[in-house]
Every structure is written in structure tokens, then in C-alpha cells.
Structure 1
Amino acid sequence: MGVFFNKIDKEQLKPGDHIYSWRQAYLYAHHGIYIGEGKVIHFTRGAGQEIGTGTFLDRIIFSASPAHPADNPCPRCGDSPRLDGVISSCVDCFLSGGDLYLFEYGVSHALFLAKARGGTCTLAKSDPPEDVRHRAKFLLENGFGVYHVFKNNCEDFAIYCKTGLLVNTSISVGRSGQAASLVAAASAVVSSPLRFLTTSFGGLAAVTYGMYSVSRLVSDIGVRRDVHKVAVEELVANPSLDDSSVANDIAKEE
């Protein structure tokens, strides 16, 4: 793995890997957990389910479900009874014609900042592969709640499977590096008071990029203080664990 490339071959896949593939000309990436035997468990949305119905995101983000007609199912996946929510697909259906990339865990601060595009790595450590697969398989049977592009998306699902961490405050983003990058970019452009300290284009660009980088870093699941570990059985038994009031109660008990 390097600063610019996380691309891997299918032969390099290991059970428990967090993988992703870019969609819509690198506009966003779809994430999942490889569980072995050519299968990936991932969290998808139905039309209009990312942050509500009929939002502008419906027009630029399509469902990542396997695109096979009902009368001609994938020979590897079979005739899947469910095409959104947490689903299991073969690697090829998951990739949907895209390349395969490996999401990195436990990276250094320097490498994290060098990878300017969010949703490719985190400072957080991964749990053992058997724990990762257990969470993914359990959520395949029990679901992962309502899809939300900023708070509960496919990357949030994969990061939870890898770490067991949930956010316990009511903020605008969940665990997703993609969502954090989008928010950080908007914040850096419109909110930085330091942008008034320079008049040159180069200085403005440097200040804006610095604010963007800091915002990304403090939003990463590996450094945030508003997270706690939740067993997957507890998450399913209490679907409102993503609500800050419930999560804070659990954190106090711990």
C-alpha cells in the first residue's frame, strides 16, 4: 500500500478485509467486508433512502446493489431475495465493473494526511478477522438500521464491522471518512477565519488545505473521543444505539 494506490488483486484478498471500489467516475466509493469464498457483505440503499426521499443525491448516487435482472441472476450470487440493506454478493457484483481497493487500518498520522481523499484509511486499529466476519454475518441476518449518506452509510458499516466502534454524540457525520471529507471541504472553504489573513492565491490555497486536513484528522474514528465499543448483539437488540442519549447512558455504565 502506498500514498496514492490501495489497489489490490482478488488473489490478495483475505477474510475480514475491508474493501472498496470507486463509483461514478471516482465521485464516491462503495465499501464492504470480504468474508471469504468469493463473498462480500455490504450495506446498500434502495432508491431515495440515503437521507430521505427525492433529494438531489438520488440523482447522483445510485444503489450499489448487484445489477442483475430478476430472470437472469448472477451465477455466483444466485437469486438474492434482498437487493438493499445488508446483502451478500460475489466480488464481481460488488465491484460492478470497478477496480478493487483495500481500506487500511492503523495508519500513521503522516500517511493519513498524505492520503487527501477520505474513505481510504483510518488511524483506528482493526479487530481480529474472526470478530470482523462475525459482525458482518450477524448484521447480514439482522440489518444495520436505516441508510443515511452522512451518518450510516456503507463505509460506516464496514468500519463498524472492523472496529466495533459507534459514535455517541449527535453530530453531522458518523464514522465515514468520505462524509467527513465532504464536510471538511465545505467547512474549510466557507468557515475558516484564517482565509482573511492572506490575499495571494497560493496562501489562500495553503490555508484552505490546512483547515481541510485538520478537519479530516479530528473527524477520524481513530482519534475521536465521542466513540465507544458496542457488541453487535447489543447493537441489534437496541437499534437506537446511534442516538447520543442512549449511547451516553451506555458509556456511563461502562
Structure 2
Amino acid sequence: MGVLSNRINRALITPGDHIYSWRTAYIYAHHGIYVGDNRVIHFTRGRGQEVGTGTALDILLLSSAPTRTLDPCPTCGHSSVEDAHGVVSSCLDCFLAGGVLYRFEYSVTPGVFLAKARGGTCTLASADPPETVIHRALHLLNHGFGCYNVFKNNCEDFAIYCKTGSLVLDNGRIGQSGQAISILGAPLAAVFSTPLRVVSTNIYGMAVTAAGVYCASRYACDISVRPDVVKIEVEELTTKLAAMAGIAASAGFAPVAQAVRSVD
């Protein structure tokens, strides 16, 4: 593993690691927690689809997704087109779906964080001990993590919660995970840099300005520095999710966000 890549040999991963694999032409990555014995616990939208924005972006995302098979995996029994959704357990091969293995990094320095220009690969936040991480993942496997939302409550949010015990409050903003910021950050940076054309009158200056805005937005949205983050025990979280699931569903909110708001 280096500054520019988090790629890792599967023989080097250990229980409690936050791992991921790029999907859909490196547009989106699927994240999970490795718990040992070739098993990964991860949060999915269902039918093997980790994406689903409800917009035209889905055409690109799903058209380049890995090929799905009907036959269950002989190792773990997982089927990539099954109806199961939410928090699931599968073997490492099913999790990777033919992709390359990467390990998410914690406690990186600001310099390393900004050097990894792509979001969803690292955080400045520190991780809890592996046994705590595995406990959270196993508990959520049995009790769920709310409704999947690619921008507000996705697989990366699940894995980061397992590693840190921290969740972002629902404040109405789109994109709380690193990769959500990456998907939306580039066009947003271009938009917000437009008023600065008076300062940067050439295309190179505008590019530098847009890159600066993008990096600033990534840093400000990291779970370690943003103010709208709470730490909550997994048992308390799932109790509140169960109690508020009906209200959240009828109101159209993500249950996790609704539950966390009530803690603050």
C-alpha cells in the first residue's frame, strides 16, 4: 500500500479491516468489513446492486457493473442476483465480484488525505480495536443498518461506522461518504468556482481553483472534522432503528439518519 494506491494482497488483510473493491469502471466502490475465515460483512441495496441513484446516472453505473450469475456460490451460498438486501455476509470472492482488493486507511495525515484525490479511500479519523469493529458488524448483520441510499446511507457509511462508531447527522445535504463527495464533488467544484473567474481568467487558473474547491469540500466532509457527527453504541443504534423504522419509512427519511438525530 502506498500514497497513491490502497491495493493489498488478500493474504495481508486481517479481521476487522475495512476493505473495498472498485465497481463500474472505477466510478463507485463497494465497501465491507472483513471478519476473518474468508468472510466479509457488507451493506448492499439488493440483487447485487450497490448503486441506484434514481437518476440517469444509473444507466452508466449498471451498464458497466460486473456480470451477475444465477447460481449460488459454492463457498458461501451467496447469489449476486438474490433478493436479499441490507447487511449481508458473503465470502471474499463474492464480495470482490471479480474486482481488485483494496484496504481503506484510517488515521492518515492531512497531506496523505489530500494526495489521495479520490474520495472513499481513507479518512483522518482513527479506528477502534478490531474486536469492537467485528462486534458492530456482526450485530448489524443480525439487526440491520436502515435503508440503503447511495448518497446518504451506503456501504462506505456502514463500514466507517463499524470502524469508528460514528455517524453523520441527517442535515438534508446530499453526500456524506467520501465516494459520494467524489461523484458529486467535481461538478460542484466547477459550479462554485465559476464566480471566481474574475480572479482566474484562463482555463488553467480555473482548473486550479476548481481543484482547490474540490479538495476543500472533501476535507470539510471527512467524518473526523465535520461538526454534525455523533458516536453511538451499536446496540442503542439498532434499538432506535427498530423503534423508528415505521415512522422513517412513512416520512421518506433514511432510518439511520432519523435515529441519530434523536440522540443528539
Q: TM-score, normalised by structure 2?
A: 0.85
**Alpha carbon RMSD of aligned pairs, Å?**
2.4
Distance 2:175 2:235 in 1: 20
Q: Which residue of 1 aligns with 2:209?
A: 207
CA drift of 1:247 comes to 3.6
Measured after TM superposition, the shift of residue 113 of structure 1 is 0.4
Alignment length (residue pairs): 246
Alignment of 1:28-107 (within 5 A): 28-46=28-46, 55-62=55-62, 67-69=68-70, 72-78=71-77, 83-107=84-108
Distance in 2 separating the partners of 1:166 and 1:120: 17
Distance in 1, matches of 2:110 and 2:50, equals 34
Residue type at the aligned position of 1:29 = A
Give the unaligned 5+ runs of structure 1.
none
Moved more, 108-117 or 195-204: 195-204
- Counterparts of residues 92-131 of structure 1 (less than 5 Å): 92-131=93-132
Write the letter of the residue equivalent to 1:250. V
Identity percentage of aligned residues: 55
- Shift in Å at residue 187 of structure 1? 2.0
Distance 1:247 1:39, change over 3 A: closer
SS in 2 for 1:2: coil
DSSP-derived class of the 1:238 partner: helix
1:2 aligns with 2:2: yes
Structure 1 residue 166: Cα displacement = 1.0
In the alignment, the residues of structure 2 paired with residue 66 and residue 228 of structure 1 have an alpha-carbon distance, to the nearest angstrom, of 38
Counterpart code for 1:37: D
Distance 1:196 1:235 in 2: 48
In the other structure, the counterpart of 2:147 is: 146
Q: Is the 8 A contact 1:127 1:163 kept in 2?
A: yes
Q: Is the 8 A contact 2:44 2:85 kept in 1?
A: yes
Q: 1:65 to 1:16 in 2, by over 3 A?
A: farther
More moved, 233-242 vs 154-163: 233-242
Structure-2 separation of matches of 1:207 and 1:184: 13
